[in-house]
Amino acid sequence: MNDEIALISDGDGLAVIGKPMAVDRFLVSEGLTAKDLGLPRLKSVLRAGSGAAEVASRVAAESGRWLKLTKESAHLVKKHGLMDSKTPGVSHVMVGQPGVIKSWLQASKGSPVGNPAFLAGAAGIMAQLAMQQTMDEITDYLAVIDEKVDDVLRAQQDTVLARMIGVALVIEETMTIRQTRGRVDEITWSKVQTAPTTVAETQAYALRQLDALAEKLEKKTNVGDLAKAAREAESKGQEWLAVLARCFQLQDAIAVLELDRVLDASPEELDGHRMGLKAARKNRMELISKCTGRLVARMDAAVDRANTKVLLHPFDAPAIVHASNHVAGAIVDFNGRLGIEAARESAEARQWMDAAKEARDKALETGAEGVGVAMRFGNDSFDLARSAAGTLSSRLTERALRWRGDERNQED
């Protein structure tokens, strides 16, 4: 390839393949860092077919690096105009020095990346690296709330969660063997063949717990009961999110092992299996997104109800808003770790002064009837406000009472 490099993208990551020095120069020029792609693992994909030995020898001379597609790296795809390949979901382009785009077919004559089997194998390894990246990010996420997760798991007597803990240990052990041996043989794979069912059961259990929190919020109409349900969602929500994150992490680990097993036993099926795993992963993400979205929607609805009653419930209404923002923030963080795009603006609690001013203004507008409303307002609601809103609200109360007295003098 001389100084030519190949760029390959599967939508989640970008692989840079070429002579070691050419790859390094390209990454430096773009200000990017990347992980080793692990090209030697593709020998099993290339061991069959005509010219396999020649292609394999070329692979040995190439360097492959991988990086996750982010805002910083995604511009390369647009900049170099990657083109679709015959491998589903994979695009590629050849780049020469000093960054001139080459015809793929022209450059591929002397490059292993022109081999369809190589491209399929590279896409499989890229999928593994993307999942391992997510696994690392989930590990960081769990480290922050690890104590809560342990408390949740230890407190549960449910056999589903108990089995998940045991399966997690087996999966971690198998990943260690894979890292040591560089492959997943039949014996290694047999350790985790039943793991997907157990992890899926645990995921379903955690999703049901989050749905239960959402349902409680939906059923409550009394602001006091709503505040209690919101506080429960705040305290329990993140714990179940952590259990879900652990499930997602284990499912990605199983997928990594699956791809290695297919690469070892049936390399010709690697591309189809990769696409199947990608579709299944997308379905899991959508399921989780819908569940967490329902909880956020219920919390937002609770905020709306609370903000209409803030005057009469100066303690509970702000508590509901606080809990809602806390839950929503936890969900946005959680979804971000899993790669689920989510955004939500923090809800703003209505200040007691705004609510009081609105009630007073409405009373003034209604004439004589408004005076009666204001009197009842002064006798009942301002007593609550004095203790809840502190000095500033007390001054507002005094002004409102003076206003009521002025109105009486005018009538006399």
CB 230 within 8 A of CB 315: no
Q: Give SS3 for 2.
A: coil
Residue 57 pLDDT: 67
Q: What is the mean pLDDT of residues 216-245?
A: 90
Model confidence pLDDT, tens digit, residues 336-378: 889 886 444 445 555 555 655 555 555 445 444 433 433 343 4
Residue 410 reports pLDDT greater than 60: no
Residue 399 reports pLDDT greater than 50: no
Residue 404 reports pLDDT greater than 90: no
Residue 304 reports pLDDT greater than 80: yes
CB 4 within 8 A of CB 107: yes
Give the domain ranges of the chain.
5-112, 145-338, 352-411
232 falls in which pLDDT band (50, 70, 90)? very high
- Range from 122-136, 279-293, 303-317, 398-412 carrying the lowest mean pLDDT: 398-412
Model confidence pLDDT, tens digit, residues 3-53: 788 899 998 999 999 889 989 998 998 888 899 998 888 876 666 544 555
Give the number of other CB atoms < 10 A from CB of residue 55: 23
The tokens describing 133, both together, are 């990246």
Residue 374 pLDDT: 37
Mean pLDDT of the chain: 77
Residue 371 pLDDT: 38
Residue 257 pLDDT: 97
Residue 344 pLDDT: 45
222 falls in which pLDDT band (50, 70, 90)? confident
162 falls in which pLDDT band (50, 70, 90)? confident
Q: What is the mean pLDDT of residues 79-85?
A: 82
Residue 350 pLDDT: 52
Which DSSP category does 114 fall into?
A: G
CB 382 within 8 A of CB 401: yes
Residue 68 reports pLDDT greater than 60: yes
Model confidence pLDDT, tens digit, residues 179-218: 999 899 999 999 999 999 999 999 999 999 999 999 999 8
What lies within 8 Å, CB to CB, of 191 at 6+ separation is: 170, 173, 174
Going from the C-alpha of 214 to that of each of 53, 77, 207, 237, 301, the distances in angstroms are 59, 41, 11, 10, 11
Going from the C-alpha of 81 to that of each of 8, 9, 99, 107, the distances in angstroms are 11, 11, 12, 16
Strands 35-36 and 63-68, sheet pairing: antiparallel
Model confidence pLDDT, tens digit, residues 266-291: 888 999 999 999 999 999 999 999 99
Residue 306 reports pLDDT greater than 70: yes
Q: Which amino acid is at 8?
A: I
403 falls in which pLDDT band (50, 70, 90)? very low
- 339 vs 68: CA distance, rounded Å: 11
- 401 vs 38: CA distance, rounded Å: 77
CB 331 within 8 A of CB 341: no
